[in-house]
Structure formats: structure tokens, C-alpha cells
Amino acid sequence: MSTHPELPKVGPVDLVLYHVGGDDGVGPIGAVLEVIPNCVLVTFEIRDDARPVLVETSEQNPQQIKIKVNRAVDEKRTTKDFYVTNQPKSSSLFKPSPMAKSEDPGYPHCQSWDDTTQIVKTLSVQTSSIEQIINELGLPPPDIISSDAQGAELGILRGAGPYLDTALALVTEVEFSEIYHRQPLFDEQMALVSPKGFRLANILNAQMWHPMNRMKGMGFLTAAEALFVKYFFNFAATDERPARGYIDMRWVPTTVLLKAILVAMGFRLASYAVMIAKFIKAERNDYQQYVDSTYMLKRTFDILTFFEQHKNDADRSFDFFIDTLQIPDSVYLRNGVPDTCAIQRNLLKQMWLQQQAAAQPARA
């Protein structure tokens, strides 16, 4: 492995984020960059610039380093056709699917998928896998892999090799029906990552496509972005183990668990972050040095302390921690699956408050 001389050194609890699909917009991982300052963002995109790596400091946050890698990413090193369409963001290693040509995706710039996926030219591109690029350039391994690659996401994940095993979260474009010809679908991504300990956390930016022009009524759930998080869990000695979708946290180094907390807080999975912190506080004695020097870790352990001190209050009020601990919202995560249980609970709570208010004059 040869290390590029400009590459930054990464600390034990610094997060490294990979985004395949350019750096003009990084999608949901922007939520992590909002609240975790000690990050390295690595983006992959083919550029005319001949330099393989560019290293920059983020204008928004001097603690965040950006590494731009001039490579096309796929499952392995090979030469493939890349289909450039009239809407460049729809260009792909896959041809558009004939089944989806007449479908209305609801995009403001077109009335059908065919309108935005007319092939204007075909390029021959050399692809490399994430594993190959890391080994060749000496890039820091990813804690989060984000991919917006128009149907090529499964190959990109497979090409990460051992670095998929050690990643802590994935954000991937997913399709539930072909919009590119013979592309892998969501179930194939799930089959790959679940045995490696990932749990589906949310489906973001879901798109309902209509088989023809959009009209009143439901379309088909067709495309979205899936957030998978490595799920660390501490089982009791008598517990039976699930077949997939978890990692036993007893065998995980403390620094990895601390980074998992940062990932969880970045994606606003506060209850999961506090669950990991509770295990660390009870079972490990080598964590405090990192907590003291990292704001979001300190914030998480402070929440744990608050939880322990107010457990009785929580037992008396189901909404106690929802009402008390305000975790900042993120614009990058607003278009997720709604929590229908929370919505229903809030409706029942409002009805109860209205009934109490209506009964008040009668009691007076």
C-alpha cells in the first residue's frame, strides 16, 4: 500500500465518510457532517483533471478534510460502457429499463422517465473497486459508505471487500423495481449487508412512480435511499442469537463502539447511541479520554447520566425523554419513513388534553 503524501492522519475516533457520486451533493450523510466536526469526507468522481487525489479543507468547517478521488467505482477493475443521458444525473453504467420508460417519476423537469434518460453518448470507462483504490492510494478506511450511482450500488458495496465488514453505516440509493435494465434491487442489497451486522434504520426520500401520467391515487414505491447502521447489541448469557442483523458488542474494541455512537448521533439515532454508551460505561474502563475530548461523545454520555438520574420520571411519563431531550433536526433526514406509532400517540394525547380542557368548566 502506498500512501499519498497529502492524505491526513485520522485519529482513533475521527469519522471517515465515503460518497460515490461526486461532491456537488452528498445526500443524507450531510446530517453527520452537520454535527460531527472531526470528519474526513472522501468523494469519488471522474474528472478531466489528471490528478488522482485532491485534498482540501472544508470551507464550512476547518476540522473537516475533503479528499476528491478521480476514479469510477464499481465491483472490480474492468472496462465498462457508461451511458450518458440528456439529464446528466440519470447517466449510469446501466441502460434505462424499457419497463420504466413511460412511468412518471414526478420530477419537475420531465413527465416520464424516458424524457430524462435519452442516451446521448456512450463512454468507455475504467472502473476500480473501493478495496483496490484504498490499497493503491492508502486512503483511510470508511466508517460510512454512501452511494448514489444510478443502479450500481450493489457492485460498489461488494467491491468494498473487507472494508464493508468494518464500516459502521451505509447510505445507498435503492430501487424496488427496475428503472435501469437488469439492475440489482433493494432485496439484493439487504441480502448482502444484513449478515454483516447491518440493520435497516430508515428509508429516506422515497419516490412513488406512476405507470403513466400522475393522477389521483397511489403510485408504486420505486426508488429511495436506504440507511443501514451496524447494529451492536449485548446479549444476556441465556439469550438465543438472531441469525443476522447484529454484531455482539462484547467483542468490539472501545474506539469502534465510540465511533458507532458518533455515527448514531449523526443520523439522530439518539436512543441507539445511548444504548451503546450504557454498555461502554458499565463494561469498559478505557473510554473517558476520548469522551472528554469529543463534544458529541460527551453529549451522549451526559444524556445517559440524565437518563439514569431521571429513570423514575420516565416510568411515570412515557413522553418524558421525548419532551425533555431535544435532539436537533436535520434537513437531510426530514424525508424519512414517518413514525406512525408516534403520530398516533400524539393524536391520542391531543384528544385527551382536549377532553380535559372541555371538562374543566364543568368541574368549576
pLDDT in tens, 116-166: 999 999 999 999 999 999 999 999 999 999 999 999 999 999 999 999 999
CB 167 within 8 A of CB 142: yes
Beta carbons within 10 angstroms of residue 210's beta carbon? 18
pLDDT at position 358, please?
A: 81
Give the predicted TM-score (pTM) of the model. 0.92
Strand ordering across the sheet containing 78-85: 72-73, 119-128, 78-85
pLDDT at position 343, please?
A: 80
pLDDT at position 2, please?
A: 46
CB 211 within 8 A of CB 217: no
Smallest CA-to-CA distance from 41 within 89, 7, 12, 71 is with 7
Q: How many angstroms separate the CA atoms of 266 and 17, rounded?
A: 12
Instruction: Give the dihedral sign, CA 160/20/150/176.
Output: positive
CB 32 within 8 A of CB 17: yes
CB 291 within 8 A of CB 301: yes
Q: How many angstroms separate the CA atoms of 358 and 354, rounded?
A: 6
Q: Which residue spans within the chain are E strands per DSSP?
A: 15-20, 39-44, 53-57, 65-69, 72-73, 78-85, 119-128, 144-147, 169-175, 198-209, 220-230, 232-233, 247-248
pLDDT at position 213, please?
A: 87
User: Which class in CATH covers the domain with range 15-230?
Assistant: alpha beta
Q: Where are the domains of the chain?
A: 15-230, 233-328
For residues 333, 336, 340, 341, the Cα torsion angle rounded to the nearest 10 degrees is -50
pLDDT at position 48, please?
A: 67
Q: Residue written as cell 451511458?
A: 83
pLDDT at position 362, please?
A: 56
Q: How many angstroms separate the CA atoms of 233 and 223, rounded?
A: 30
pLDDT at position 129, please?
A: 96
pLDDT at position 1, please?
A: 46
pLDDT at position 273, please?
A: 96
pLDDT at position 75, please?
A: 95
- Grouping H, G, I as helix, E, B as strand and the rest as coil, residue 351 is helix
Grid cell of 60 as nine digits? 464550512
Grid cell of 308 as nine digits? 439514569
Tell me phi and psi for residue 360, to 5 degrees.
-60, -50
> Low-confidence residues of the chain, pLDDT below 50?
1-2, 364
Residue type, 113: W
